[in-house]
Each structure stands twice: as structure tokens, then as C-alpha cells.
Chain A
Amino acid sequence: MTTTSPTAARYAGSRVHRVEDARLLTGRGTYVDDIELPRMVHACFVRSPMARATIVSIDASAAAALPGVVAVFTAADLNGGVKEQWHTSSGEEGPETPRPPLAEGEVRFVGDPVVLVVAGSRYIAEDAAELVEIDYEPLTPVVDYTQAAEATELVHTSHGSNIIGDLGAFPLSTFDDVFDSAAHVVSETIYQQGYAPVPMEGRGLIVDHSATTGDLTIYSATQSPHEVRMFCARLLGLPEHRIRVVMRDTGGSFGQKVMVQRDEMCLMLAGPKLGVPVKWVEDRQENLLSAGMSRREHGVARMAFDDDGVIQAATIDFVQDCGAYPTPWPVMTAAAVGVFFPGPYRVSKATFQARTVYTNTVGRTAYRGPWQFESLAREVLLDIAARRIGIDPAELRRRNLLRKEDIPYASPYGMTYEQISPMETFEQALSMLDYDAFRVEQAQARAAGRYLGVGISNYVEPSTPGYGYYGTEAATIRVEPSGKVNVHVVGGSCGNSIETTVIQLTADALGLNIDDVATVQGDTAVTSFGAGTAGSRSGSMTAGAVGQTATILREKLAAIAAHLLEAAVGDIELTDSRATVRGTPTVGITMAEMAKVAYFEPQKLPPGMTAGLEASSRYTATDTSIFVNATHVCTCEVDPVTGRVDLLRYIVSEDCGPMINPNVVEGQIAGGVVQGIGGALYEELAYDEDGNPVTTTFADYLLPTSTEVPIIEYGHIETPSPGPGGYKGVGEGGAIGAPPAVVNAVADALSPFGVTITRLPLSPARLVGLLDPSTRAADGSDQ
């Protein structure tokens, strides 16, 4: 039936202005800290100053006596209230990290929450926190994760080992015969430093417990209000429907706010004891101390090549630091590093081992491309291999990348890559640069004593997980009695523009003028369950939910219009917020007129049709993953005297399928790329050897600023996915592709010096050290 096919796309694909912007540009957004409730009190944590110590005693009497203080909680007050603690994506049966809300008996990292102070204002809560006296007996911490597996000291004594898990495919020796007989074998141990998502808004929540009903309302900075609700229901043993979680604006997250952590557990436990709403908003120091670390890891990456540089086998032996309290359980994510290590290349023989370890540092959390080390290790190794074999790094990739005729391609671990285009994005990106011309420019520059370099990285990533907790998404589309339309989805935006996206998709699906559509998101009371933003899933999953729901409503609208206009259902077209008869566009009826009939004159509806004008439906993903590929190409100049790196051009060619809003796609790529540049060059969540964090302010933890970033150039290849609209996920890729592209560019610039770069970040000091023969030996594995 023609009316059930979508109307012509009018908004999808165009650079529609964001509906979020009007409030955010005028200071009228609603972030957690902007919410004020009657009688609200404020919480502040007292955190451990030691990496590992026994808590001998806590004296909170002076704090409790301070005027304005409402309560002081220790583990003895809160921890007994925990009924269950597990994240929905890990599952009830899954192994979990021990996760005491407040530290109990032992502190396990600097920043570990020990005492929760609640007072009438944040100022008084902080005053009181300083009056809490805690006597610690220091213990030897496990700081260096590379030694954690063998350490005699244990981070969690109850676990019996510092190894959280070992997962792998075949033994690493499986393909030794291939390596033994290969023309070239290249193996390097590549280290990535710890860095973090660092959203501009820290974590925060308000817990409002109603003493009369026992109901709980939580306002949270989160990516997933439904996960906050489910977690809280289990934590407190409350029925899920007695809890409402509301998120309004959330100031960035990038993975850090995707799951409930211990600090939030404390607030959930304290709320019902207080009888008044309680707010906790993390400050920057807390965020850098306690909100989580990502990336600290290394791997022995090894590839065998034949005479022509064709990859014969690839293995990686990977170890990941998970800190003291990782969220979520990290073993599967670590294994993904191994699974995706072969990348978008023809590699038939591959294996890996992946080990996760506890240390006395802040816990690992999700971060944009949680397994991006696979791309870093592979792409950096490929450049090292190219230099050793004596082949141009672009040519080495060209000989191994998946070509159109190789696809569909079964990866060594059984995933099938279809609908991807690695060779096409690669050639497009090189062409945008004019790679050959750059090599000429580079040679001329070198002759003049200047060091330019070019770095390439290719990757394929799984987006839109289509299983379990993530595998469905719901929408409700409601034509209100005036004919205006509201679309309800859970959303979970921390900046990803999903409000605009959903409005674009709904307007197209129902032939509406975009100003006639609004969206309601982020409130568990009025949106059906959904996993929120994670895994680059929002575009595809909400497109599925909106599309499926709109189909139901479109059929009803067509039937109403046909009945009222005395036309055939098949001749009804929905456009401009009207239903018209094909061929005679002057004959029509507005959405407002149809809504009036549907709500107030149901006797005029087609016989048997129910009154009202809304539909709800839940979309089920059809694929386990939707694969996305891209190529990043970066050029730079390195000053060998100062170690300064200037990025010159940055090109991303990606294949995310059709774009719903090119501004949003480019914005996601740019944001991810600059986070990756930060990781390659500037950022490090660093600890000293005693486990003291040394980067707890923005003066020490260096984010990229407007003076360092290159202009990012975008290329686009469009291979539709098998999912709704052909869309793919594009939220994480920028942060995956950028670090290896930048590292390779710097290494290429410095290739005349014969250095091999295997440790990040590429700070001026590290580069100068690499170039100075007298200090090179001091830099560990660099050679």
C-alpha cells in the first residue's frame, strides 16, 4: 500500500538547526546542578588520600556538630542497605567487581569515598568534610599494572588474585610456524597511557525520597535513565515502578556516565534516610580523582608478512589496567581488543590473549571506543612494519585492506563484514590529501631541515549492539488534539543531538512540517524502557523505533483521511502536515482537523476504528552489530629541538551510511578526533609510584584547546547498513581512529632519526628524550 511507505525525506540528510540550541545558547538548559528542590540538602564526600590503607578509625563528631550539617554517613551507616548491585548489561549471573558504596575497612585508591557529609549548603558540607578525622594505616599499594599479576599484595583480597580475568582465542603460539617461515616478522610492545572521558559537566544526581509514599525521584546526569532506575531498584530492593529517573540536559559523558558507580550508590542509599532531597554534584578534582580512568594498557602486537608485505598472521598479547573498581566488569571489553585487532584487513590467521588486572588506582570506566587499543596497536605496528620492510605505509595498507571483491568477508573470529568500504574510504582520504604531493613536500621540507610527517589509520568498528539489554528501542508518537505531534523516546543525550534527530525522522515519516513536532525524552515516567546512549546506537535504534511506530500511525491517518475525503486509502499522501489526495493536492485535510475528529468526533471515524491518534511500538534490532569503517589521515610538523608537534591537516573519510544530519555527523567525528588527538599528544591521568594522582586539575590534565586543533576535513562514502534507513553509528569512531593517525604522523616525521615510537602520550619531553641518544635508554621499551 503506497501510504505505508515513508513520505519523501524532507529533513533527513539536511543540516537542520538543532532544537536543543535555543535553550542551551541562552543559559536555560537544565543540568542537574541547575535543579533546585524545596528543602534540598547538599552532599560532599571525604575521600581517601592514600592509594591503599586500612581504615583504623573515623571520628566525624566535629563534622556532625557543625551548624548546618544534616548527617554524616560512613560505610557502617550505608553499606548494609545494599540488596543487589549489578549492571543490566552485565546481567545478574555475570561476575561483578566488589563495589562497596563507601570504603569499608580498606581504601583502595586515592579518591576512594570514605565518608558522605550532608549539609544545608555545599559550602557547609565542604567545611564539615574537612573536620572529619580518619586514621589510616598505610598498606603497600599495587600501582604498576604491568607488575600487578605477580604482585604479592592484593587489591581485593577476597578475589584471591589481581588478575580479574584472562580471555583469549587460540594459544599465542598457534601460528608459530607461520611466523617462523615468514619473510618479515614485526613485533612491538605498544603502551597507551591512562586518560579519561572528562566531560565538562562532572557526575551528579539528586535523590528525592517521598516519606509519605516511599517513592523515589532521581534527577541524574546520565546516558541512560532507565539503567539508573533499574540499578537503583535492585540496589534498594524497591519495585521499579516506584522509582522515577529524570535526566534533562547532561553536559557530556562519552561513556563515563553510562552506568551507576559507587558515589551514586551512596546517594541512592542516603536519600531515603534523609527525608529531604539530597544533591551531589562532582567537582573537577573529584572527577579527575574518582570518576574513572580509561585506556591504560599495553599489548605485544605481532604480524608476519610475506615478501610482498601481505599479512600472513597477526597476534596480540594484551594487558589492561582496570584500577580498583572497574565499571562495568571489564573482561569482555578487553577481549574485544583482541577480536578487532585484525581490523579491516585480509587476515585469516589471528589469535589473542587479553588480561585484565586490578590496581590501587581509580577504576576503569567506559570511554568512547572502549577497545580502541586494537586500532592503535595495529595501525602503529603497520607503520613500524612498513619502515622495516622498506615499503610506503600507504602501499602496505593498500596491499592488505579489504577490497570490494573481498566483501562479504569473514573475520578470523567469525564476524562477517558486509556493507563496509575500507578501500574506498582509504583512497578517498589519500586523494583528499594528495598523498603523493605531500611526500614531495615532505622531501623538500626535510632538505630544508624541517620534519613533516603523514599518518594513516584504518578501522572497522561495531556500532549499534543488537542483543540483550541493547537490542530493542521503543517510540510513542502522539498526535495531540491540536494536531501538533510529540514523539517520546528515552533518548539519553549528553550532547549527541538525538532530540533533533528524532524530530527530523518523525517529521519525514509522517509528512509533517518540522515545527509541528516536538520530543519528550529522558524521563522514565513517560518513556518506555531503552538502553540510552551507548555503543553508537542512538541513530540506528531510534530510527528503527520511530520508523516502525510511524508506520502504524501513517496507516491510521491514511484511513481517516480517505474516509473523510471520500478517497481511496492508496491515494492519500501525507505532506506539509496535511493529508491530500494524489493528483489533486488542493483536496486535503490538515493534521489538526484529523486530530479533532480522532479525539472529539469519533463517530466520524471509519467504522470500527478506535478513537485517538497515537501509536507505540518497540523495534528489535536485526543485526548483532552494524559495522562502520573509516580512514583517518593526519599530517604534522615536529620540531626535533623542542619536541613540539603541530598538526597541519586532518582528514576523515568515513562510511556511516546515509547521514540524518551532516552537522551532527561531522560534529561527532570532530569531537571524537580531538579527544583522540588529546590522547595521542597531551592527556594523561598520571600517578606517581606511590599511587598518588598527579593530574587532578585542568592545569595538570591537559585537554586540547582551540590553539592546537587542526581544521578537520570530511570525506563521506555511503554504503547503507542493513538496519533502518541504512544508518550506522558514528559516535565513537573519531576517538578510535585519531590516536594511531597522529602517532604515525609524528613517527613518520621523525623517521630520519630512526626512532620507534611505542609509548604515549607524545609529549614534548618524550619526543625530545627519544631523539636524544643519551636519554633514549631511559624510556623503557622505546628503541
Chain B
Amino acid sequence: MLLDVLRAEIGKGLRVQLAHPVGHVITLLISTMMYLGLQFVLGQGELRQDLLPRTLVAIGGYWFLQYAALVMVADLIEEKRAGTFAQAQMTPAPPWLPMLGRLITASVFGLAVAAVAALVPMLVAGIAIPLRWAALLPAVLLGVNVLAFTFLLAAVALVAPAIGALQSLLTSLVLLLNGSFLPLALYPDWLAALARILPTTLGVEAITQTLFEGRTLGELWRGGTLPWLLAHTLALIAAAGLLFVRNHRRSLEELS
């Protein structure tokens, strides 16, 4: 039964999103053009091949986060306003299950946008990103990190529909500081430390270290990047779970 409910929620979420495909295409175009344009400006009139692969990994993480969070939070706020959120709570399934379905839907759209938006610059600017198995674990952790943060934003959105401003601020900070403009290694230490507090930064750092510096997972662990990424992700999961438990009941009370 739980699996049926989860499938139903994911299927519904995908259909609702695909009912308005133009918005997704426009977002894709803007994302790709913005990245290439920024790199062109930062490269003082040229696309610098030494910066592009690392920044593309970072902005891929940002796109995933930004789009998954946008889909999840906007969808939730709209449903609360419309009344379908309350209907979806009258299920024999536990309340976190429909939320998990929403998160999976959001992650599908986030990943799809990130993948397609990254593919265009790779083809246009000939960016080559080497693939290494060692990057798999950091990539998975980056994904979980992003989804935990998305769930956390959604948990806040349950009781604070005006979360849009905070969401914009946080995702803008991620774009500015996670290495999407310049690799993290070029930042002053204090700024790099600040950037590592934000979601995606540690994941991007771990992936770029494995892909472009040839580091092994053991080296990442000993260097501290992997344990910090793991701790950061677990902290986000715990915070998101606690906030959801706290806010879910309150959100239903507010519907009255």
C-alpha cells in the first residue's frame, strides 16, 4: 500500500509539472545562457577552459538545488492555498510519505534541468569532464545534501508560505559561493569557510577533488572534505526531519 501511495504521489507530481512545459524550457534556456554569459564576462571576453569544467560541476549542483527546491516549495505552497494539500493528508499512509513523493518528483525535475543545462555548455564550449568512480560517492552525497536542504525548505514552507524571499536569498548565496563563478580554491580562507556552510559546496569540492585532482576517497576522508560533507548532510537530514514533524501538524491547524 505504501508503495502505491508513493507511486501515486510521484505520478501526480510529474503530471502537474508537465502540464506547464513552457516554464521548464524557459528555465533551462535562462540557466544555460546565464552560465555561459557569466563565464564569458569572468573570462574577460573568452571561455577559459581551465575554469569551465570545475565551475560547470558547481553550477550543476546549484541548478539541481535551485530547481528541485523551486518545484517542491512552489508546488507545496500552491497546494496549501488551493486546498489539495489537505485532501492529500486524508490517506491511510503516514504524512511523510506524500512529502517523500513530492521530494522525488522535485529531484527528477532538478536532475533533468541540471543535466540538460550542463550538457549544452559541454557541447557548445567543448567542456570535457573526466569520469572517475571515486566521484560517485561524493556525487550521491551531494544529491542527498541537496534533497535534504530541499526538504528542509519545504518543512519551513508548511507554516511560512512567505518563504520565497528566504529561499531566493539562500539559493543566491549558493550560486555566489559554491564555486559556480570561480573555483573554491581561489577564494580567501574565510570566504571558503563560509561557503562550506551552504548546501552543495562541500559536495562540489569533493567531486572536483576526485575528478580534476585525482584524489581517492581515502584521501578525501583524511583531508576532511568527505567527513564534513557527510556530517553536513546528516545535519540537514536531521534538521529537515525535525522541522517536518514540528510543522506538519501546525500547517494543518493553520488551514482552518
- Real complex partners, A and B? no
Q: Which residues of A contact B (CB under 8 A)?
A: none
Q: Which residues of B contact A (CB under 8 A)?
A: none
